[in-house]
Structures are given as structure tokens and as C-alpha cells.
């Protein structure tokens, strides 16, 4: 498969037109042909990648570490995670800078409709192998 920069740039929402991410090449491992990938809507491609990535965590040796933590885009959770890392690596006087979180929930409401069943499938898969997935926090859709 070509690298993302090798695809033509056009003014639409197709994957080939707006993607510059290396993750795109992994979509062929989900059973898609390269020609299908480059014709996909960008968000559909991203969702497929996101589901694949999180499914691999649950279904491969990556989940052997039972301390896997998904960090949702929620200010308080981001701050707590930063503090945990400070303490974990020996800083007993942590002073992380404040995370800036921007509300983007209303930007693409059609994406939320597409994403919900995907996020729920990942949650169910993780639960099925005994892992915690922060469904409610992820569904806040920041």
C-alpha cells in the first residue's frame, strides 16, 4: 500500500484526500482492499482503525498487562493521569500544567451516531476478557 502522502489531494471527505496518518496502512489488515481504503469516508476509516486497535489490545498479548488504562479526553481524568505518572516515576511534588479541553461534541453530530455502536462493541469485547473500558467517559464525546 502507498504511504498516505502518495495519494492525490482533492476537496472532499474521502480518506485519500485528507489523511496524512501512517495508521491508514493497517486498514488493509481488516480485510479491505487498498482501493476500498482510499475511497472510504475519513471518519469511517478512522472508526475502523480505532476499533481494530482497541480489539488488538484486548485479544493479543498486549492485554497481559492488567494495568492498561484508556485515558478519555476529560480534563479531570487527564489531570489525574498526569499526577499518577509524576508519582509513579518518583516526583513527590508534582506540578503538571493544566490540561486545556475543548468541547467539540456538536462539531459532527453524524459522527456520534456512527461511533456509538463501535465504542460499545469495543467495551463489550474488553469486558469479555476482563478488562476495564471507560465507556461512559468515552461516550461524553469531547
Domain carrying residue 111 = 68-138
Domain count, the chain: 1
- Annotate 76-96 with b (16+ C-beta within 10 A) or e (fewer): ebbeebbeeeeeeeeeeeeee
- 85 assigned to some structural domain: yes
Read off the pLDDT of residues 2-25 as tens digits, 9 standing for 90 and up: 444 454 444 556 655 545 556 677
- 96 assigned to some structural domain: yes
Q: Is the whole model's pTM more than 0.85, yes or no?
A: no
Torsion angle (degrees, nearest 10) of CA 57, 84, 141, 68: 10
- 53 assigned to some structural domain: no
Read off the pLDDT of residues 109-137 as tens digits, 9 standing for 90 and up: 888 899 999 999 999 999 998 888 999 88
- 39 assigned to some structural domain: no
- 46 assigned to some structural domain: no
- 90 assigned to some structural domain: yes
- 84 assigned to some structural domain: yes
- 3 assigned to some structural domain: no
Amino acid at each position: 500500500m502507498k504511504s498516505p502522502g502518495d495519494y492525490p489531494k482533492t476537496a472532499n471527505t474521502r480518506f485519500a484526500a485528507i489523511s496524512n496518518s501512517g495508521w491508514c496502512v493497517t486498514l488493509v489488515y481488516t480485510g479491505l482492499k487498498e482501493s476500498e481504503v482510499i475511497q472510504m469516508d475519513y471518519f469511517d476509516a478512522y472508526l475502523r482503525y480505532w476499533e481494530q486497535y482497541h480489539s488488538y489490545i484486548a485479544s493479543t498479548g498486549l492485554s497481559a498487562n492488567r494495568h492498561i488504562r484508556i485515558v478519555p479526553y476529560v480534563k479531570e481524568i487527564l489531570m489525574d493521569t498526569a499526577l499518577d505518572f509524576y508519582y509513579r516515576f518518583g516526583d513527590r511534588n508534582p506540578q503538571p500544567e493544566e490540561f486545556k479541553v475543548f468541547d467539540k461534541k456538536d462539531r459532527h453530530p453524524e459522527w456520534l451516531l456512527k461511533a456509538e455502536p463501535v465504542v460499545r462493541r469495543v467495551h463489550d469485547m474488553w469486558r469479555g476478557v476482563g478488562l476495564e473500558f471507560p465507556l461512559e467517559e468515552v461516550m461524553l464525546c469531547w
